[in-house]
Amino acid sequence: MIIPVILAGGSGTRLWPLSRQLYPKQFLPLVNGKTLFQDTALRLSRNSDFDSPIVVCSEDHRFMVAEQAREKKISLSKIILEPVGKNTAPATYVAAEQACRIDENSTLLVLPADHHINNVELFLATVSKGKELAEAGALVTFGIVPKYAETGYGYIERGSVTGNVESEAYTINRFVEKPDADTAQTYVDSGNFYWNSGMFMFSAKRYMQELERVNSTMAEACQLAIANGKHDLDFFRLDAASFAESPSDSIDYAVMEHTSAGAVIPLDAGWNDVGSWSALWDIKEKDAHENVALGDVITHDVHGSYLHSTGRLLAVVGLQDHVVVETADAVMVSPKDRVQDVKKLVNTLKADSRPEALLHKKVYRPWGAYETINLEERFQVKRITVKPGAILSLQKHHHRAEHWIVVKGTALVTRGEDTIMLKEEESTYIPLGYLHRLENPGKIDLELIEVQTGSYLGEDDIVRFDDMYGRHDTKEIS
């Protein structure tokens, strides 16, 4: 049985300001109408050899994974929650352990959640070549046939032919870090190097054995995190204290560089890691001037640029090979050959504790979403959307009161000891310190305007008494 493992961690900082820490690129529809995570999962549904995927993600993104899978009717074997990111090697170990519980002889296909593949049939055919090798004990990675001398990727140098002729596989001489331009060109010219895709295929049991052999500290921390973990709704939550003790490392460094069983299979299926704005420009449809223009955009004398508006009119004059991205709370402008440095902007935002690194103005929650319309001293106005059947937590606030006005749908409101039903254009007032809850009993989205007043309006002024989503911290609204 082949069990796919989708690694859905990561923050996608190089695609800021669209990608944010709490709403990263893998959960955005950047290429087509589906998110990158959905595309990755649906890609696998074309092959009956695959079981339902295991997804490894952060606790912050657990409801996004579940909701986006539900939207596309994607069946998942398990959602494993990492309390802290420790890179791909520990994440894959815990997934392998869980896969062995499903089938002790399972083969894993490990895929990042944020890649785009143009030729899915060729991708699946290449994966099939790795199946026999993996079942025979090889640790297989898929090397991307390079199209040009890219300095933003690591490379894999192939060795001699291994396996049968049909597998087109090679031993691995070495993994190399991101090279400079001249070195990258020599790699491409040699014909012996591939881009490192971060995709792998191996026996779950064999991977665990190899990691235990080369890094027992990591393996033991993962084992404890599983043993002390617990099921929470549809998720499996790793024990935070145990997992925090694991070293942080990639599969490449932790295992592949230390095994004699490694193999690389070339993949030439229109792969793109969607790792930067220039990479996204590469795969999007362009106009006659080689521009990608999304949203409300007008241009004059603009060429070779990526222009993206999420709301406001974006008017651009006289640019060549630039990226301009507009969101409700930020505008980013960069030459296309400098987009790797966007990550440095995000680091500055984080160092300054700016919310733009963490959240969009519209924030998604398991029950729906909220958007801040206005924020001033002692009052805040939000637009709140609650999905049909969704229920916010039973809670109270120490420092603010709230006034709710329903503009669409129907609201069932718990207010102290009372329960009231509100229809469109009706409202209620929640005094400071009152126990309250909001739910949508209808079949359409509930939309309301919330006016908060008080001495402190921070999102951490929440005391929860009951929550259907199992949230106990005070950092998430309602």
What pLDDT, in 10s, does the model give residues 28-68? Answer: 999 998 999 999 999 998 888 899 999 999 988 988 999 89
Query: Are 241 and 144 members of one domain?
Result: yes
Query: Are 255 and 296 members of one domain?
Result: no
Write the pLDDT tens digit of every residue in 91-100. Answer: 999 999 999 9
Residue 476 has pLDDT above 70, yes or no: no
Give the mean pLDDT of 443-447. 97
CATH number, domain containing residue 209: 3.90.550.10
**AA letter at 79:** I
Query: Are 245 and 304 members of one domain?
Result: no
Does 351 fall in a domain?
A: no
pLDDT at 471: 59
Residue 293 has pLDDT above 70, yes or no: yes
pLDDT at 234: 80
Domain that holds residue 157: 2-272
Integer-rounded Cα Rg, in Å, for the chain is 24
Residue 340 φ then ψ, to 5°: -65, -25
Give the mean pLDDT of 84-89. 96
Write the pLDDT tens digit of every residue in 385-434. Answer: 999 999 999 999 999 999 999 999 999 999 999 999 999 999 999 999 99
**Residues 64 and 27: beta-carbon distance below 8 Å:** yes
Residue 475 has pLDDT above 80, yes or no: no
**Residues 81 and 237: beta-carbon distance below 8 Å:** yes
Query: Are 164 and 254 members of one domain?
Result: yes
Separation of alpha carbons 135 and 164, rounded Å = 13
Does 449 fall in a domain?
A: yes
Share of the chain above pLDDT 90, in %: 85
Query: Are 182 and 56 members of one domain?
Result: yes
Give the mean pLDDT of 107-128. 96
pLDDT at 14: 94
Q: Quick one: pLDDT band at residue 470, thresholds 50, 70, 90?
A: low
Give the mean pLDDT of 259-284. 95
Query: Are 294 and 237 members of one domain?
Result: no
Domain finish residue from 209, 241, 272: 272
pLDDT at 357: 93
Does 350 fall in a domain?
A: no
User: Which residue, 14, 22, 9, is CA-closest to 369?
Assistant: 22
Mean pLDDT over the full length of the chain? 93
Q: Which of 7-11, 48-52, 382-386 has the highest mean pLDDT?
A: 382-386
**Tokens standing for 316?**
């651009």
pLDDT at 154: 94
Residue 326 has pLDDT above 90, yes or no: yes
Does 472 fall in a domain?
A: no
Query: Are 44 and 66 members of one domain?
Result: yes
Query: Are 258 and 387 members of one domain?
Result: no
Separation of alpha carbons 181 and 178, rounded Å = 9
Does 413 fall in a domain?
A: yes
Give the mean pLDDT of 16-28. 94
Separation of alpha carbons 195 and 360, rounded Å = 33
Kind of pairing between the strands at 169-176 and 262-267: antiparallel
**Residues 171 and 157: beta-carbon distance below 8 Å:** no
CATH number, domain containing residue 459: 2.60.120.10
Burial class (CB in 10 A: 0-12, 13-18, 19+), 56: buried
pLDDT at 75: 94
Domain finish residue from 224, 242, 272: 272
Lowest average pLDDT, out of 181-190, 373-382, 418-427, goes to 373-382
Does 207 fall in a domain?
A: yes
Query: Are 289 and 244 members of one domain?
Result: no
Residue 129 has pLDDT above 50, yes or no: yes
Write the pLDDT tens digit of every residue in 139-153. Answer: 999 999 999 999 889
Instruction: Tell me which residue has tokens 């106009």.
Output: 287
Query: Are 302 and 366 members of one domain?
Result: no
Query: Are 367 and 329 members of one domain?
Result: no
Residue 477 has pLDDT above 70, yes or no: no
Number of domains within the chain: 3
pLDDT at 20: 93
pLDDT at 228: 97
pLDDT at 158: 96
Does 399 fall in a domain?
A: yes
Query: Are 173 and 317 members of one domain?
Result: no
Domain finish residue from 250, 272, 294: 272
Write the pLDDT tens digit of every residue in 295-313. Answer: 999 999 999 999 999 999 9
Torsion of CA 438, 441, 444, 450, to 10 degrees: -20
Does 353 fall in a domain?
A: no
